[in-house]
A and B are shown apart, each in its own frame.
Chain A
Amino acid sequence: MTLTEARALVPGLAASMLDEQAQARALETLALVCQQFTPRVMVDAPQAILLDITGCERVHGGEVALVENVQATFRRLGYSSVTALADNATAAYARALGDNRKPESLPLEALRLESALVATLRALGVCRLGELLALPAESLPARFGDALVSRLRQFRGELEEDFEVYRLPEVPSERLDFTDPTGRRDALLFALRRAATGLSEQLNALGCGALRLEVSMRASEGAPLKFSVDLSRPAQDSRSLAAVLLGRFETLDTGETWFEGLELSAPSRAQVVGRQRDLFAQAEPAHEAGFIELVDELVGRLGVNAVSRAELTPDPRPERSYRYVTFDTTQAAQVQVAPGRALTFFEPHPVELDLDEQGLPSRWHEGRRSRSLTCVRGPERVDFAWWEGGKERDYFEVEDEEGARYWLFTQDGRWLMTGAS
């Protein structure tokens, strides 16, 4: 029927030109997603994906459960599909094309024969597979050619049909082409969420999580807008991916630019390993879903280095006595810390001091102001390695006349302030 006739039947029917490239990409994405069900996925563009589930059904709870899972996955991704199960690929393909009818009721088109051959068979009154199979087998090659015979043998499982085996891409990616260019931020945020969902399915299928996300948004005019996000831990959950992407996107100014589409990829990935928990252990707060989402959003907006926890090291030098790590790293060995450490620590700066007879600070001159000092702790000697100059430092805690406490050290006769309590 023509488009006009279709619109007469369904007012408001949406129609667009077929984009074969987009269709092929979508099929590849679905094939990648299907890797979660079986490692052997075959593609017959533009419409079919074949899964060899031999031996895989046990993992997924049986054939029926696996088929339901496949259908649910496709629905979740926004696709409607016909799924059929058979002993070989050709039969399954035919059943799917024939809406899962009984083999003898399948139309000839389900065998994917040349249209001329199908027309010839119909002219002879053969319209169903059952009628074709009822014909004398020895007469088929001479009358209809080897192609028909081969296809029937493939349907019966006597011969294997060659399909293109899907190969995993080097970098999982999700591409979206907008129907119309847009510059609206809410539309772009929706597109990012949609892309995150698609990429999440791919990462789930591959059993890995993204450590880095790269986005390229194709502008209608000018260079594409590109940004990336590094994650503190492998993420495959669509909400986590969306949280980091949206967090980073909100810091970007798109100005008056209109975009035609975007591509989201995960160039860096790592295996996602499930944590085994002790049966009686309390749930770790750090792994609560809400906290993980919070960290993802913070990482997305601020960068992976800004979101961390501190870890002590055994190094006695104050500037090396700690380091920052991501929240997902394992706990380091506990390091004992002596009381009386400063509570704030900053880049050492020289101070002008008067010293008493014992060489301890007694007065601090800061601009026009002068304060008397009392040494309350120290000296605490810290040696530096010979390859770092080998100079030792003596640290002191001093208190001024108002009770404020500061952390000083002396090195090579110079006095520097480096912290406060």
Chain B
Amino acid sequence: MARPAIAQLLPPELARTLGASRSGVYKALPTGIETLDLALQGGVPRGAVTEIFGEFGQGAWWLGLHLLAQVKDKICALIEPAGTFFPPGAAALGVDLGRLLVIRESNRKQALWALERISHEKVVGATLAVMERMSELEVRRLQLAAEASGQVLLLLRNPREISRASWGALRLHVHARPGQRNGRCLVVETLRARGALAPRPVLLEIEHATDAVRLSALLPHATGGTVTARFAG
């Protein structure tokens, strides 16, 4: 029997007050990956901050840009003070560069101002930002801005910051699995999903030739200890 989401156990008013209700004002943005949408109850939340943690080269950028490419009808924005964004790679994933506002500002304070300013805009559908050392207060301000504008606000963050408290509605951890020569394997773990129990991790197999997701599957939750199977005979 499926376990009910926490939000459904609470009175509706209390669920909304605590921010636990996913059936809020905005519909979720489908990720374009059926299994991931199933795990996230429809997709990444609009009007909220989604944090994506991942080590360098382990797929966090892939997931962030893939989600950006799902926004079809609005302008998107990208802010990355380090300046490593590679437009041809984003275009290969389906990001419409003609509708992508790129902020090239290396000063963190100015970049953060731009991120906050853009987060308030309803005309922007989604913003992807890569900012180091974001404080709880900074993320909270972005969350409030996203709630007002209805944007999908994606923050790519270093896994070293996972332990920091955050106001983000959804926290994902992306890491790669080695061994696929004609494709690539990524695992997307949900660390926190507001209003729901943590869904199971999702395995994605990405086709080399097309960068399309050819397979996605739910993985079992990781267990704390080692399970030893014993056989008699």
A302 lies within 8 A of B110 (CB): yes
Q: Does B175 contact A (CB under 8 A)?
A: yes
- Name B136-164 residues within 8 Å CB distance of A: none
Of A337, A344, A401, which is within 8 A of B178 by CB? A401
B89 lies within 8 A of A342 (CB): yes
Q: Does B231 contact A (CB under 8 A)?
A: no
Segment from A152-160, A189-197, A320-328 that makes contact with B: A320-328
Given contacts A342-B89, A421-B59, contact A308 B104 (CB under 8 A): yes
Tally of A-B Cβ pairs under 8 angstroms: 158
A400 lies within 8 A of B178 (CB): yes
- Name B13-55 residues within 8 Å CB distance of A: 55
Q: Does A286 contact B (CB under 8 A)?
A: yes
Report chain A residues within 8 Å CB of B104: 305-308, 324
CA of A311 to CA of B97, assembled, Å = 7
- Name A294-338 residues within 8 Å CB distance of B: 294-295, 297-298, 301-302, 305-312, 318, 321-322, 324, 327, 331, 337-338
Most interface-central of A295, A308, A322 (chain B CB within 10 A): A322
B58 lies within 8 A of A404 (CB): yes
Of A290, A401, A403, which is within 8 A of B185 by CB? A403
B99 lies within 8 A of A286 (CB): yes
Q: Does B65 contact A (CB under 8 A)?
A: yes
Q: Does A409 contact B (CB under 8 A)?
A: no
CA of A331 to CA of B96, assembled, Å = 12
Of B61, B97, B113, which is within 8 A of A309 by CB? B97
Tally of contact residues, B, Cβ under 8 A: 54
A339 lies within 8 A of B123 (CB): no
CA of A301 to CA of B110, assembled, Å = 8
A301 lies within 8 A of B88 (CB): no
CA of A251 to CA of B114, assembled, Å = 13
B123 lies within 8 A of A285 (CB): yes
Of B92, B97, B185, which is within 8 A of A340 by CB? B92
Of A341, A374, A404, which is within 8 A of B176 by CB? A404
Of A312, A343, A406, which is within 8 A of B61 by CB? A343
- Name A45-77 residues within 8 Å CB distance of B: none
Interface residues of B (CB under 8 A from A): 55-59, 61-62, 65, 73-75, 82-93, 97-105, 110, 113-114, 117-118, 121-124, 175-179, 181, 184-186, 208-211
Top-4 shortest CB links A-B: A403-B176, A404-B57, A310-B87, A345-B86
Interface residues of A (CB under 8 A from B): 251, 285-286, 288, 290-291, 294-295, 297-298, 301-302, 305-312, 318, 321-322, 324, 327, 331, 337-346, 374, 376-377, 399-406, 419-421
